[in-house]
Structure 1
């Protein structure tokens, strides 16, 4: 797996001549943390972050274009970069996202922290987290342990009655990717002697 398999595309970019206001609108509209800044031919020339734009918006009239506030020393990744290389670059430079460029330096995608986490986190862990979230919301406490192996979910804990067992089963079945569900009852704790 390489950057080309992980990156988000199409990529939203701005140019140095883009107004701070227009770039801010793109960030807000799409929920990005930063935008690649491209020059002629789509070549990467900088990055403008939400922080850059926030400062520019607070200093009204001082900076009006992205070119005035962007960072020009930019880390980028090539299409063949591995997830490990991407993570190292992002952590090493304290980046939330990393532009991906082709051999010519043209921006072809962006890799975010969440993109990397998605590929580095096993699917079973994601299923377990989603099932746990649903069950905790249902019971308002953490009453059950959830383990997942190859999409097969095992919910272990105490169940009030058969109706609750059916509710738990139905809730877990709503998680996309669940292949099977098994409920295991543990005995209620007894008093201390």
Structure 2
């Protein structure tokens, strides 16, 4: 399963000059955790997350901090006003052909909730943790149907194959002419979102 199979495209994104308040509105409206930041040529220049937008922006309530000294309540400088001032410029990215397993591992390792997908410098999609999780909860019928569709598109007349799916494990039963055909069948089945393992059962 590759990034292109589950990524969201086109991507809702913002520009460096976008006001922080507007970016916050886009995040909350769409229930995103982060937004890619692109320039006028759709080149990725950063990413802005929820934490970036709220940092140093929510004033303290003096009723909750009556113990503070007077010096702690002095007026502070206005927080940054644009996305370009608060965004993260070093971004973890992957390509459309990236293995989703590698994307999930990268998310865990780097504590990120979404990974922009790029083709060269251009943003072409984004994969979130929710996208990865959705592949884990697809119904068995939906997974089996997708595998059948891909096998039929590849094999054409090999309609006698049976496909079953159960909790991410796909079983393909049928006649296979050789080992190369088996490898192709396994590769096609594994490219379907929600497939973890593939078993081949040849008919006598």
Q: TM-score, normalised on structure 2? A: 0.58
Match of 1:70 among 43, 64, 87: 87
- In structure 2, what is the equivalent of residue 101 of structure 1? 118
CA offsets 1:16-65 (integer angstroms, 9 cap, x no match): 11000110010011000000011231111111001111115327822000
- In structure 2, what is the equivalent of residue 41 of structure 1? 41
Q: Aligned-pair distance for 1:150?
A: 4.8
- In structure 2, what is the equivalent of residue 115 of structure 1? 131
The answer to which of 86-95 and 59-68 deviates more is 59-68
Note if contact 1:20-1:56 (Cα within 8 Å) is conserved in structure 2. no
Q: 1:51 to 1:123 in 2, by over 3 A?
A: same
Q: Aligned-pair distance for 1:122?
A: 5.4
Pairing of 1:3-152 with structure 2 (within 5 A): 3-55=3-55, 57-58=57-58, 61-102=78-119, 104-121=120-137, 123-124=139-140, 150=165
Partner SS for 1:13: coil
- In structure 2, what is the equivalent of residue 2 of structure 1? 2
Note if contact 1:56-1:64 (Cα within 8 Å) is conserved in structure 2. no
CA offsets 1:114-165 (integer angstroms, 9 cap, x no match): 11112244524x9xxxxxxxxxxxxxxxxxxxxxx858xxxxxxxxxxxxxx
Unaligned runs of 5+ in 2: 60-76, 143-163, 167-204
Unaligned runs of 5+ in 1: 127-148, 152-193
The higher relative CO (CA closer than 8 Å, separation ≥ 6) is in: 2
Note if contact 1:43-1:107 (Cα within 8 Å) is conserved in structure 2. yes
Q: 1:108 to 1:39 in 2, by over 3 A?
A: same
